[in-house]
Amino acid sequence: MTLGSVSSAPAPTVPDEYKVPPINWFSVGIFAVYHVLALMSPWFFSWSALGLMIALHWLTASVGICLAYHRLLTHRSFQVPKWLEYVLVTIGALALEGGPIFWVSGHRLHHAHTEDDYKDPYSSSRGFWWSHMLWLIYPQKEFFNKDAYQRYAPDVARDPYYQWLESNFAFIQIALGFVLLAIGGWSFVFYGMFLRTVLVWHGTWFINSATHLFGYRNFDDANDNSRNLWWAAILAYGEGWHNNHHAYPNVAKAGLRWWEVDPTWWVINTLKALGLAKKVVMPSPQMLARLDKSV
């Protein structure tokens, strides 16, 4: 090829199902409204509302998303009685991160095709903001459809209660809003609904974005760029020890070193002590030996 010539090689074609679709203005509207109302929370401040927000943040993020949606449903790191599983997953639905079938399907795809530009729904190789939230604003039909849910989360998709929750998770959030209004007025609504939800969103979204870009690695042979990031672990109740998790996704405990604090594991361990959590997948001696060698 001479200087200044143009290559005649055809550009690689991207399958239609992997092309970025038009922006979903409904999602943009929901996110915008919640963020604007969250920013209005200081005008409705009360100490009781702040306490409520902290309690609901822990309940919906740590217990609902990190424990129920993630470690219980997606990875089956432990088992609980079915009635308790339903309670925990319903709490997860109150985080407004989608129904359990959608969430589990997407996260299993993320582990199966981590950082693949087209097969990982929130691949960090497409940039921080894509993995953080743009993937929700530009929903790709390959991932946002019932066929995908059935294919990647069949165990969850065939459960009648989860089918109902998939269609009604937004309505139980509205019901919670009316309960908060009745018991604490608008301060409870602004802090318990809007501010809490936005903080939960970004805290858990940082696991998709920041922990694939920043931090350290205990397991360098993990086939991805997952990292352990201390501040993400604080915001997401232990999920920020993401390199540990990607190396051994079915292990119930994400924090492995003494400083890797994992509040979600504390809840699982409490359920185990009470006899409610069974078949808890623990770090194996071989896994811990590999960890020691990485120091």
Residues 6 or more apart whose Cβ sits within 8 Å of residue 91: 59, 60, 63, 64, 68
Give the model's pLDDT for residue 1. 37
pLDDT on residue 197: 98
Q: What is the mean pLDDT of each run of 10 residues along the chain (295 residues)?
A: 42 57 90 98 97 98 98 98 98 96 94 89 93 91 79 94 96 96 98 98 97 93 86 98 95 95 98 98 90 65
Quote the pLDDT of residue 9: 47
Q: What integer pLDDT is reported at residue 2 of this predicted model?
A: 39
pLDDT at 237: 98
Distances (CA, A) of 293 to 218, 225, 286, 289, 290: 9, 19, 11, 6, 5
Q: Cα–Cα distances in Å, from 183 out to 42, 50, 52, 95, 187?
A: 19, 14, 11, 20, 10
Q: Model-level pTM? A: 0.91
